[in-house]
Amino acid sequence: MSDRHTVMLNIVLLIAGGLFAVGICAPLMTVQKWRVFTQTYTLGAGLLRLFAAKHYVRFCRKFSFEVICSMISPYDQR
């Protein structure tokens, strides 16, 4: 690869990494109850709650399916 391709690849990977980080913290859904209480759920907050509650098996399973598989699937060459 030439230096130009390496620089472009690094820029694209940096942008993809930033978008991935935003996607982890972005709200998955917002629930409004009686127009008074609003709760927002994010993937990152859910993972942290599982880890804080000492549900390590559920944390590992959720982390592997949601985070790791989403990083691997674009590169699947089947």
Q: Per-residue pLDDT tens for 34-58?
A: 666 677 778 888 888 889 999 999 9
**Number of domains comprising the chain:** 1
What global pTM score does this model have? 0.54
Separation CA 32–CA 24 (nearest Å):
21
Q: Does the pLDDT of residue 77 top 70, yes or no? A: no
pLDDT tens digits for range 3-31: 888 898 889 889 988 888 887 777 777 77
Q: Which domain holds residue 32?
A: 3-75
pLDDT, residue 53, reads 93
